[in-house]
């Protein structure tokens, strides 16, 4: 308590020396503060709180605020980087889908070409087989016609020989 009184008297003497004009206002202000129940202890508490706040501000609050701002800045930067990566991934996915569509179109074209070629080959094979079958049938028909002619000729000559033979036996049997 003595320290407070000494501190207050020191402050008042200092104010008296440097601020003589304010002293009368200070005395009135002191009376006003005493009427509110504020004494030297309250003022000392306020000074201590102000000093403690300024120390804590420099030692704790400002570094913590810097840390929070750095964290926020890093979070924003990371969010922007993530957005950029997502955009790149979407672009690559679109490129991949376009490439897949292109490859599918090429494969479809190749499949259609191969199918058309196989159908053309099938048509050619069937046409050649028909031509071959016609040739074989025509050849068989010609061979059958030729054989028929030969058989008819042979039968015609054999009929003449047979008729002569039958007629000779009939004549010899009658005689």
pLDDT tens, per residue, the chain with 175 residues: 566 566 666 666 665 665 555 445 555 666 666 677 777 777 778 888 888 888 888 888 888 899 999 999 999 999 999 999 999 999 999 999 999 999 999 999 999 999 999 999 999 999 999 999 899 989 888 888 888 888 888 887 777 777 788 778 878 877 6
Q: With b meaning 16 or more CB within 10 Å and e meaning fewer, what string describes 40-58?
A: beebeeeeeeeeeeeeeee
| Among candidate residues 154, 47, 85, 149, the one with its CA nearest the CA of residue 38 | 47
pLDDT for the residue 118: 94
Residue 11, CA atoms < 13 Å, CB-side half-sphere: 13
3-state secondary structure the chain: CHHHHHHHHHHHHHHHHHCHHHHHHHHHHHHHHHHHCCCHHHHHHHHHHHHHHHHHHHHHHHHHHHHHHHHHHHHHHHHHHHHHHHHHHHHHHHHHHHHHHHHHHHHHHHHHHHHHHHHHHHHHHHHHHHHHHHHHHHHHHHHHHHHHHHHHHHHHHHHHHHHHHHHHHHHHHHC
Q: What is the pLDDT of residue 4?
A: 56
Angle at CA 31, nearest 5°, toward 26 and 37? 125
pLDDT of residue 148: 86
Determine the pLDDT at residue 74: 96
Q: What pLDDT is attached to residue 53? A: 86
């Amino acid at each position: 308590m003595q320290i407070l009184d000494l501190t207050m008297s020191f402050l008042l003497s200092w104010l008296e020396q440097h601020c003589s004009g304010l002293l009368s206002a200070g005395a009135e202000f002191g009376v006003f503060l005493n009427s509110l129940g504020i004494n030297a202890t309250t003022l000392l508490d306020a000074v201590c709180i102000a000093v403690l706040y300024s120390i804590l501000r420099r030692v704790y609050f400002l570094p913590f605020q810097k840390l929070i701002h750095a964290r926020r800045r890093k979070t924003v930067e990371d969010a922007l980087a993530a957005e950029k990566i997502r955009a790149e991934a979407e672009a690559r996915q679109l490129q991949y889908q376009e490439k897949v569509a292109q490859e599918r179109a090429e494969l479809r074209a190749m499949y259609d070409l191969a199918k058309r070629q196989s159908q053309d080959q099938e048509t050619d094979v069937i046409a050649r087989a028909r031509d071959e079958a016609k040739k074989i049938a025509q050849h068989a028909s010609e061979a059958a016609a030729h054989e028929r002619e030969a058989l008819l000729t042979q039968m015609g000559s054999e009929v003449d020989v047979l008729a002569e033979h039958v007629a000779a036996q009939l004549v010899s049997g009658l005689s």
